[in-house]
A and B are shown apart, each in its own frame.
Chain A
Amino acid sequence: MQSFQQDCVDLAFQKFRRGQISRRGLLTALSALGVAPLAGGEARAQGNRQLVMVNWGGLANQGFGRFYGDPFMAANQGWTVVQDSTGPSAGRIRSMVESGRTTWDMCDSSASSSNLLGRQNLVTKIDYSIVKKEDTLPVGFALEYGAAPYSFSSVLCYDSAKFPEGGPTSWADFYDLRKFPGTRLLRRDALATLDAAQMALGKDPANLYPLDVRACLRKVSELRRNAVYWNSGSESEQFLRTGEAVMGQVWHTRATVLEAETNGRIKFIWPQALLQAGIFVIPRGNPGGEMAQRLLASMLANPEPQVGLLQLLGNGPTNPRAAALVPQDLRRKNPTDPENARVQVVLDGNWWGQNYQQVNADFIDTITG
């Protein structure tokens, strides 16, 4: 299953091919990939102290280096932040920490993974005397075991040409096959999908959790005959572009591409979209110790680089001061723009952290076979 971070990288390559970002930007990223990212021991021997930030590869290497690493290095002389694009899945973090030789300081993870890892004592608690809670969004972005310098969202995206009398405005419409006939597109993953189903069942978005898993799964199975499922972001884009599906739940980064490409024929809406936190975690026993907390604090505290990342990869900023810095034409695409954030629902990472494994297995069993 492709993660959101990997998909950002894919998307950036596509943008480059269409000439939407510069060759220089891409080349920097590629050369960054060619250089061995872990010069760990050597650099430390020279008295140059460094932190290792782990991302999901490709352009994130450049994006995170430039917008997260550089500002920190400028403020902390003698410290270097290096990028490693191994892809810090929960499984990899677990095997590294359990082996007792942690070499990572900061990992691009998720709310549910941070909770899972935290409960297994594999990641360090965030020290909120160093990391400022008020530098990120109030609910769901500053967790016990991780904090989010970026955001993304699962939005309802539809082909407006198929619905001349007005498109869907809620997940209830999404699940209403009589009013809006046609194939639906869902991610083959329970996370965010069941949350939308719960809203379609009529539960108040403000009190969405805990999800009624059985009812949600029943709701999802109603669509089974009229649904296709995506694994990777490019796949989701393709299903909607070619008209295989008339409506889908997809990442906002893909929806914005479709909207621009079709001149607004394919639309997406922010109301009831599932806003998710791009949570970073600090593996237990990380070599940089407390400095990793300071790095995280710096990533959260600087709004300008976050806006830069929005322009490059589409990741929404989380610093409250960032939204105002976003250029007018990008605001529609920014999940944390006040106008957009107000109508979305923040996905509950804690609930998912406790339930993800079992619920996702049940979800897969429900939609397949």
Chain B
Amino acid sequence: MSAAGRTGAGWWLLILPAFLLLVVFYVAPIAQVLTISVTEPELGLGNYERLFTSSAVQRVIETTLRICLITTVLALLLGYGIAYAITLARPRAQGWWILAVLVPLWISVLVRAFAWVTLLRRQGLVNNALLGAGVIDEPLPLVWNEFGIIVGMVHYMVPFAVLPMLASMREIDPRLLAAARGLGASRGEVFRRVFLPLSLPGVIAAGVLVFIFSLGFYITPAILGGGKTLMVAEWISLQILDLIRWGLGTMMATMLIAAILVTLLVFSRIVDLRRIFGAGA
């Protein structure tokens, strides 16, 4: 074996422990999940057939997709505004802005969900304030429904939307904007025809990240959904733990993984995925 070949083998040996760890603790269980989905309760694709026949299964998927899409759009809109403001801010102010975006990320998702419950419930801060101001006569149903879930999820996702967009906005050469202005474009035109198109890759990257993240969301919907608005992750846990319908639960888990992979595959052709996940800035 040549010297170069041996060095190559050495590198592979270094990777081996991590590789084995992944295979044993990640790939193998996922393979098992896949197996159960076609063997329980009986061999075959019966569980997958439910995707087309069971209205309950379809409803869960529909709810999940709807909530994820709305969450993604709202998080992108809010995040874009924040990222834009940060990009234009002075360097000192930028530091504070970024800190303000990151701090919520460090707070436990559980705490944030319960905080929203406190704010949004019938006798919560929001309803009491509105009632006190005479704006409404009856408390609004702000939580234990889709609205509550979306509020909680958007709150969680905004930082994840801001960061990729900020990265791509910072790469935009400010001289381009100045040049556009110099050539007679209005502020609005500069934004629409120069800044927005240049920041688009960041927007798509942020969108993919937020959407994929939302698909598997568990805690926030479980707490804010009031037990009746089920998203896929909670539905899976219900099938596995309470209803002992493992075949159905693992089928949905497999579909979730497939949905994430397909999303990644489609968008990997449009944007540089490595950028989303933080490699290579």
Q: Which residues of A contact B (CB under 8 A)?
A: 1, 91, 188, 224, 227-231, 242-244, 357, 360-361, 364-365, 367-369
CB distance from B236 to the nearest CB of A (A): 12
**Most central of B54, B122, B226 by chain A CB within 10 Å:** B226
A244 to B229, CA, bound (A): 16
- Say yes or no for B80: interface residue by CB 8 A criterion: no
Question: What 0/1 pattern do residues 40 to 83 of B give for CB contact below 8 A with A?
Answer: 00000000000000111001101100000000000000000000
Name the segment of B22-30, B186-194, B240-248, B266-274 touching the other chain.
B240-248
For A91, list chain B residues within 8 Å (CB): 244
CB distance from A46 to the nearest CB of B (A): 40
Is A369 touching B122 in the complex (CB atoms < 8 A)? no
A364 contact from B54, B55, B243, Cβ within 8 A = B243
For B228, list chain A residues within 8 Å (CB): 224, 227-229, 367-368
Q: Which residues of B contact A (CB under 8 A)?
A: 54-56, 59-60, 62-63, 121-123, 144, 226-230, 235, 238, 241-245
| 11 CB < 8 A contacts A-B | A1-B241, A224-B228, A227-B228, A230-B227, A231-B227, A244-B122, A360-B242, A360-B243, A368-B56, A368-B227, A369-B63
B59 contact from A188, A227, A229, A369, Cβ within 8 A = A369
A91 to B242, CA, bound (A): 11
A369 to B230, CA, bound (A): 6
For B229, list chain A residues within 8 Å (CB): 368
Is B123 touching A242 in the complex (CB atoms < 8 A)? yes
A231 to B60, CA, bound (A): 19
Q: Which residue of B lies closest to A91 (CB)?
A: B244
Is B122 touching A361 in the complex (CB atoms < 8 A)? no
Q: A231-B227, A243-B122 are in contact. Are A369 and B242 (CB under 8 A)?
A: no
Is B230 touching A368 in the complex (CB atoms < 8 A)? yes
A367 to B242, CA, bound (A): 15
Q: Which residue of A lies closest to B226 (CB)?
A: A228
Listed from nearest, the 7 A-B pairs whose CB atoms lie closest are A369-B59, A229-B227, A365-B56, A228-B226, A368-B230, A1-B242, A228-B144
Q: Which residue of B lies closest to A1 (CB)?
A: B242
CB distance from B216 to the nearest CB of A (A): 18
For A227, list chain B residues within 8 Å (CB): 228
Q: Which residue of A lies closest to B58 (CB)?
A: A369
CB distance from B136 to the nearest CB of A (A): 16
For B123, list chain A residues within 8 Å (CB): 242-243
For A357, list chain B residues within 8 Å (CB): 243-244
A242 to B229, CA, bound (A): 20
